Structure 1
């Protein structure tokens, strides 16, 4: 005589539901199936035919079921009544869905329940202890009326809730009921389930719960408190939900996770997870671990998955978050360094810096003509093209793609006022960015240019304005980057010390002292050039108070102590 029966609520993937029903029925567990009335009659007949050879599989009255409505409770009531009347030997009734899959043998589950003959396994917690409800309808689901479908009639649903709130309408909970909530997947003893279904006040209770929102999460969870002799407020079914309240779907690659949980049943299983169905439906019945179901064993994995889904990975832009500013988990994937004005002040600065750091150093990645990748490459990591038109379509994503594609290798590149400036504010707000700025360094290039002075003056005014706009963006209160700014005059007072500070922050505590100085531009005649700009009405104030006698930097001494001689 069977002591365990299963109720299955089905509406899709009927071939899989038939597999599971047969698995239970062939192991002497009666099964009562409710099939959603919305399923076509031809599919229903085919479903019944798949199980026609099993005497202990029955189908109850079909109802049209919809999420969040009373119809789901009615379906379980019909199936439960059939189970209790047609199978008097059943002592525990296990509610499952058509997408459920047994993880452990039936003999193991029978033995577990036999050791707890009067225990009801149903998650049942008071409202003040609930922390998983979505959209704020916690207490109100029992105080207001919900005659409209949340999925099909959302506008009416919301307007009727607003009307009841505005009028202060509140329902009275029937005497003797203390609302509880919990998972709809339960395993109840015959005594408790029959007491709920045969209660003299059932008509009153049913009338109340018909207008409760999502009653399948509260009907049995509330009434069980009035009749059960021994409640364990947990489900024997592994069911995980995401931050939106939607159930996680288990696939073939979750096999080891499901085994680790030691739960008896799991939902929701992907219908095409052939490996899961093949593994769990063919395991030996005498495989008895007698372990306590502990879904908490895999909670850490789901917590990490939830964090990954909600926050994403630093610097990786997901489609769901791309249009929303500041929804990303970090602007970029790794630290990177930007040198503004250094390749104007120092000759062959990129090769010198590359030797010092032992890594590739790019030229001006955002130069007007093309992206100057290290080594003059046409493409770089991840097939990023040097084409300026492609880059400038979205320069912020060009930069984040470069950083993402080269994780593990610090990216270093030059920048200047001639470059595309659109991503300047982005870099300023990026905590991974290290920006070293020498303002007025553009004047060094103009100083060495053999052009009409009128053109030089106009170009100087343009470059200075562009540079000042960039510096102002860096000084915004929302800036998060590591930013160092010198005027040209300030920097050349102690060029080696300033370079050492930058490299120390890039290389960390183990950075060695500079032993090789980059070659600085010859400044002979530069003070007079600046004075000529002033005489022409263009004040190069971003250069700073440049010494009129000029500068002559020297290499570090043998003690590796850099200094500057004038």
Structure 2
């Protein structure tokens, strides 16, 4: 015999019995520590069920708690019994009652037989681990932690805060350098005996009793003191999520676990019948000789954590609604927002639809209804043109529109007359491409026949709304790609902004524009703005429109220069 198993059990005793029998019947002695929280009857029944196995022992029981010294003390007691009762054991592995063997025991024995002097324990310094949380990296060794993090969280946090304020620091015992790592190790008899029989053990135990999560640092630190050869990795596949909780393996992880080539996996769900039947059966014994390689499945775990924390960009649903500000991209794909273009040009949506490969809508956030492309009353994603339904949750309307049309670029018009609930949503969305002709909303007022006092009042209201919208687009929180032209600058040279819009969306045929949409007449617009000023309203978003004469737009399309040889 060359491998002994120290097993910590606290629940699922039926599954623990299966695991013990699997190890014991394949030549591996087992010493079991059963948590004191298990009732006396269940413990007695469990011991009786193991009575037919002569290489199984039970050690003294104690109550164990996560992150506390009791877990280390339990493993010490069980390890001491293992070393005393089974002198032929050369490697000792620490496991739990949910650690499932993934490969034949004979293959693991052969693997360890070729490495008789090697200790397998993850052991790295605090500077080298990325998973310490809450600032407690080196502090877990220099502060005291008499309170349970799980049961007395407020006392724990308060006591840490007091020690930080007072500048309290514990001295680390001479001769050791704190290391961290997975609690699931496989040590040689020589190293484990040296740790348990160290002449300074009382001092080390006293020190680590007040370290935070000592089961992840006690053996990891002392192994560095006594081992001749350390492989800083665990033979047990143990994956954790972003909260530090272990991943649980279910029946549908069967092929994933086989691909890992690891010897043991923690932790298997107690009701995963398919996993236990497959891996605890002798029928599948195929000696591969492969090196354990959890990295082969790390990509899947990384993707799972990212999916759990961020979800899928632009997907909102009752079962997985992301936290505000943590959802990554707000929407699922790029889209284009055009502000002021339909106010300046006649039939602009039709012209743009003929020019680019995209779905061009009207004002989908208009006050009266949703102006879908082609005047549709319903659209993908069961979206209705009802303004009431849309305004119930304008953000969800936008994200649903983009999610339901992935693969097709969506373009829509927007302006100060529309519902502004999505103003900041679009501004903070990296998928948004927003093109603004500021002040273009005044063109509709210019062509209206309303009373001028009403026009002045409406112009002031719309300008205030657009000014707030531009503030959002220019905010340090904005992530949308934005281009803003004043109305005066746009009118002087409309070809370049239109070309920029077409180039971003993607042209249908030619790479350069061959025609421009028809611009609405603006004769007398400068005087109209001057009249607004005379009435006490300052139209500053339109740019510099002279009152005495009209701006003449450039209708000639700029051509790229070329060289003739």
Shift of 1:66: 0.2
1:341 alignment partner in structure 2 = 340
- 1:474-515 deviation digits (Å, cap 9, x = unpaired): 344554433333344443333344322321232279852334
CA distance in 2, matches of 1:6, 1:410: 60
1:8 alignment partner in structure 2 = 7
- Secondary structure of the 2:271 match is coil
Shift of 1:183: 1.8
Residues 140 and 511 of structure 1, relative CA distance in 2, 3 Å threshold: same
- 1:457-480 deviation digits (Å, cap 9, x = unpaired): 433343333333333443445544
Shift of 1:447: 4.1
Is the CA contact 2:311–2:320 (under 8 Å) kept in the aligned structure 1? no
- 1:37-72 deviation digits (Å, cap 9, x = unpaired): 112334434544554543433332221100111111
Is the CA contact 2:30–2:57 (under 8 Å) kept in the aligned structure 1? yes
- 1:106-146 deviation digits (Å, cap 9, x = unpaired): 00011111222233222233455444332333333333333
Residues 549 and 111 of structure 1, relative CA distance in 2, 3 Å threshold: same
- Secondary structure of the 1:520 match is coil
- 1:520-566 deviation digits (Å, cap 9, x = unpaired): 33556766766765665656554452687768989889x999xxxxx
1:54 alignment partner in structure 2 = 53
Q: Number of matched residues?
A: 558
1:155 alignment partner in structure 2 = 154
2:563 alignment partner in structure 1 = none
Check if 1:136 corresponds to 2:135.
yes
- Secondary structure of the 2:433 match is strand
Is the CA contact 1:141–1:212 (under 8 Å) kept in the aligned structure 2? yes
CA distance in 1, matches of 2:465, 2:162: 57
Is the CA contact 2:357–2:507 (under 8 Å) kept in the aligned structure 1? no
| Correspondences of 1:474-553 after superposition (within 5 Å) | 474-476=473-475, 478-507=477-506, 512-523=511-522, 540=539, 542-543=541-542, 544-545=544-545
Is the CA contact 1:379–1:385 (under 8 Å) kept in the aligned structure 2? yes
- 1:1-26 deviation digits (Å, cap 9, x = unpaired): x3322121122333332222222222
Structure 2 residues without counterparts, runs of 5 or longer: 561-565
1:124 alignment partner in structure 2 = 123
Bigger shift: 424-433 or 331-340?
Answer: 424-433
1:86 alignment partner in structure 2 = 85
2:107 alignment partner in structure 1 = 108
CA distance in 2, matches of 1:455, 1:179: 76
1:41 alignment partner in structure 2 = 40
Bigger shift: 46-55 or 314-323?
Answer: 314-323
Residues 285 and 392 of structure 1, relative CA distance in 2, 3 Å threshold: closer
1:375 alignment partner in structure 2 = 374
1:232 alignment partner in structure 2 = 231
Residues 17 and 377 of structure 1, relative CA distance in 2, 3 Å threshold: farther
Q: TM-score, normalised by structure 2?
A: 0.86
Bigger shift: 168-177 or 66-75?
Answer: 168-177
CA distance in 2, matches of 1:507, 1:185: 55
CA distance in 1, matches of 2:20, 2:160: 40
1:329 alignment partner in structure 2 = 328
Residues 374 and 48 of structure 1, relative CA distance in 2, 3 Å threshold: farther
Shift of 1:410: 1.4
1:439 alignment partner in structure 2 = 438
CA distance in 2, matches of 1:460, 1:357: 33
Is the CA contact 1:142–1:171 (under 8 Å) kept in the aligned structure 2? yes
Residues 223 and 332 of structure 1, relative CA distance in 2, 3 Å threshold: same
RMSD: 3.5
| Correspondences of 1:105-504 after superposition (within 5 Å) | 105-282=104-281, 284=283, 286-310=285-309, 312-316=311-315, 322-325=322-325, 327-476=326-475, 478-504=477-503
Shift of 1:419: 0.7
Residues 240 and 361 of structure 1, relative CA distance in 2, 3 Å threshold: same
Is the CA contact 1:446–1:456 (under 8 Å) kept in the aligned structure 2? yes
CA distance in 1, matches of 2:55, 2:350: 81
Structure 1 residues without counterparts, runs of 5 or longer: 562-566
Q: TM-score, normalised by structure 1?
A: 0.86
Residues 8 and 510 of structure 1, relative CA distance in 2, 3 Å threshold: farther
Shift of 1:353: 1.5
Is the CA contact 1:34–1:60 (under 8 Å) kept in the aligned structure 2? yes
Residues 74 and 368 of structure 1, relative CA distance in 2, 3 Å threshold: same
Residues 486 and 200 of structure 1, relative CA distance in 2, 3 Å threshold: closer
Residues 511 and 335 of structure 1, relative CA distance in 2, 3 Å threshold: farther
- Secondary structure of the 2:436 match is strand
